Structure 1
Amino acid sequence: MADASSQIARTVATAPPGPFREFWSSFKENRGAVIGLVIFASFLLIAIAAPLLAPYTPNAQFRDHLLQPPVWEAGGSWQFPLGTDPLGRDMLSRLLYGARFSFLIGLVVVGIASFFGVVIGVLAGFAPRWGDTLIMRVMDIVLSFPSLLLALVLVAILGPSLINAMIAISIVLQPHFVRLTRAAVLSERGRDYVTAARVAGAGPIRIMFRTVLPNCLGPIIVQAALSFSTAVLDAAALGFLGMGAQPPTPEWGTMLAEAREFILRAWWVVTFPGLCILVTVLAINLMGDGLRDALDPKLKRS
C-alpha cells in the first residue's frame, strides 16, 4: 500500500505542467512583459472604477478655475490635483473616464477585426486557388494604403464620430488577421490530425473551425494584443485630427485636440493625455512581446 502511494506521488510530481502553468512560466521570464501586464491591469481597473475614483463628472465645468495648474505648481490646489482644462473641467476626472473610452475602443476594434479577419483567413486557407488569390489580392490592396490615411478616408465617408472611427480602424486592421490566419491554416491543414478528422467523416465547417482553428490561436492572440495598442493609438490620432470622438467626450486624443492651442500656456492639458496614451500603448506592446515568446514554441527559451 505504501509502495502504491509513493508511486502515485512520484507520478503526480513528474506529471507535465498544465497549459496555463506552462504559459505563465514562459511569460514571466520576460520582465518587461510582466511590467506591461501590471500596468495594463492597473489601467483596466482604473477604467472600470472611474465613476468611483473620479472626484467630478468629466464634463463638470468650474468657471472660476480655468486652466488652473496642478497641485505642485504655483496657484494649484488639491481641489484639482492635475489642474483644469480651458473650460475649467477637472483633468484627473477626464483622464480617468478617458481610460474607459480607450479600452472600449481597443476591445471593440480588436473584436470586430479579429472575428471577421479570422473567418476570412480560415476560408482563404481552405478555398480553391482562385478564391484564395481573390481574397488575398483584396487584402493586399487594403494594406497598400497607409493605415491612418485609409482610416481618415473611411471616417470622412462615414462621418466623424467615435463609432465610425472604430469601424474604420477595424477595417484597416482586419487584413493583418486575414494574412496571419491564412498562413497558420495553410501550415496546419495538411497535418495527420486533419486527415484523420476528414476520414472520420467530419464536414468542412467542422474541420475548419473546430479542428484546425484552435491550433492556430497562438499567433492570433499575439496579433490581437498588438492590434489593441494600434487601435488605441489610431483612435487617439483620429480624435486629435477631429475625425474621431467629438467634444466633449473625454477621449485622450480629443483632449489633446482641444488643448493644443494652450500648449505654451498650460503644459499639463497636453502632457497628461499624451502620457496616458504613451504608457498604455507601451504597456500593451511589452505584454504582446511576452505573449509572443510564451505562445510561439520556436521562441521559447530552453
Structure 2
Amino acid sequence: MQLEANQPVSPELLYAQKPQSALQQFWFYFRKNKGAVAGLCFILFIVTIAILANFIAPHSPSEQFRGSLLMPPVWMEGGSWQFILGTDDVGRDILSRLIYGARLSLLVGVVVVVLSLILGITLGLLAGYFGGIIEAVIMRVVDIMLALPSLLLALVLVAIFGPSIVNASIALAFVALPHYVRLTRATTLSEMEKDYVVASKVAGAGNLRQMFINILPNCLAPLIVQATLGFSNAILDMAALGFLGMGAQPPTPEWGTMLSDVLQYAQSAWWVVAFPGIAILLTVLAFNLMGDGLRDALDPKLKV
C-alpha cells in the first residue's frame, strides 16, 4: 500500500506494519479500554498500600485511643490530623484499619481464586477430555452447586466448620468452583476438535500431556478473565461474610467486619461505615473494569 508524503498514519496502521510481541499486542488492545487502565492503576495502588502497610499506616490497626472515640474526619469540626479519617467506637484509627484491611482482602482474593482455579481447571479438563461417566458425575455435582445461592452455600459451610477467615476462604473457593469447571470443560471440548490435538494424539502423546501441555494453554484466556472477575467476587463475598459475623472475627481489620462492628453508629457517625464501604466499592469496581479490559485484549473476536 502506497502512502503519500504528508498523509497521516494511524496508530492501527503502524501497529499492523510493525512486528509485535505477544505482550505488546496485549498491551495495545488493553490500553484502548480507558476504564480497564484506570482499574489496573487503582489495583496497583491498593497492592502497594497493602504491601507497605507496616510503613505507611499511621497507627496500629488494633491500638485504641480511649480519649478519641468516634472522632470525625480531619475536615469536619472536631477532627484531628492524628486521625485523618476519624476513629471508630473504641478509638481505633479508621485509616490504619483500612490500610491493613486491604492486605487481608487481597490475600483472601488470591487464596480463593488460586484454590478454585486449580480445582476447577483439573475437574474441567477431566470432564471435557474423558467425557462419559466422569463428565456426567462432575457436571451433575456442578449443576447441584449452581442451583444453590452461592452466599447461602458459603454460609452453611462456614457454619459447619466454624467462623474464621480460613474457613470462609475455603468456603468461597468451593462455591466459586462451578464457574471454572464449566468454563474449562467448554473450552476443552472446543479444543478437542482441532487438528493439533488430533495430530498430537496420533504422534503418541499421553493423556496428561494432551490435557496440561497441549489443551490447557489454549484455554487460559477466558480463565484469566473469569479469575479477575472472581477476584472481585471473592472480596465482595468475604466482606458479606464478615458483615454477617461468619468471616474474619474482631479485632481483625477486615472491611466487612469493620462495617458489622459499627453498624449501630451509621446515623450518628457516618464515617465509620462510609469509608469501609467505599473501599469495597472501589476495589470491586477496579477488578471488574480490569476484567472487562482483559476480555477485550484476550478475545480474538474483538480484535477484528
**How does the TM-score come out when normalised to structure 1?**
0.94
Q: List per-residue Cα deviations over 1:73-112 (Å, max 9, x = no partner).
A: 1110101010000010011100000000010010000000
Find out whether 1:103 has 2:106 as its counterpart.
Answer: yes
| Structure-2 separation of matches of 1:232 and 1:290 | 19
Equivalent residue number for residue 37 of structure 2:
34
How well do the aligned residues superpose, as a CA RMSD in angstroms?
1.0
1:73-222 matches, cutoff 5 A? 73-222=76-225
Given residue 146 of structure 1, which amino acid in structure 2 is its aligned partner? P
The question of 1:272 aligning with 2:268 is answered: no
CA distance in 2, matches of 1:15, 1:272: 47
Distance 1:15 1:217 in 2: 26
Q: Which residue of 2 aligns with 1:253?
A: 256
1:1-39 superposed Cα distances (whole Å, 9 cap, x missing partner): xxxxxxxxxxxx955311110011110111110111011
Moved over 2 A (4+): 13-16
Distance 1:128 1:219 in 2: 21
Output the amino acid matched with 1:250: P
TM-score by length of 2: 0.94
User: Who is 1:10 aligned against?
Assistant: none
Cross-structure match for 1:299: 302
- What is the DSSP-based 3-state SS (H/G/I as helix, E as strand, rest coil) of the residue aligned with 1:65? coil
Q: How far, CA to CA, are the matches of 2:27 and 2:136 in structure 1?
A: 39
Letter in 1 for 2:52: A
Kindly tell me the number of residue pairs found equivalent between the two proteins.
289
Q: Please list every run of 5 or more consecutive structure 2 residues that lacks an aligned counterpart in the other structure.
A: 1-15
Could you tell me how far apart the structure 1 residues matched to 2:79 and 2:21 are?
53
For residue 90 of structure 1, what is the amino acid of its counterpart? D
For 2:10, the equivalent position in structure 1 comes to none
In the alignment, the residues of structure 2 paired with residue 47 and residue 206 of structure 1 have an alpha-carbon distance, to the nearest angstrom, of 39
Partner SS state of residue 36, structure 1: helix
Which secondary structure does the structure 2 equivalent of 1:60 belong to? coil
Q: CA deviation digits over 1:230-265, x for unaligned, max 9?
A: 000000000000000000000000000001011111
For 2:192 and 2:249, the matched residues in 1 are separated by: 46
Give the percent of matched residue pairs that are identical in Structure 1 and Structure 2. Answer: 61
Superposed CA deviations along residues 163-214 of structure 1, whole A, max 9, x for unmatched, are 0000000000010000000000000012111111112211110001000000
User: How far, CA to CA, are the matches of 1:185 and 1:18 in structure 2?
Assistant: 26
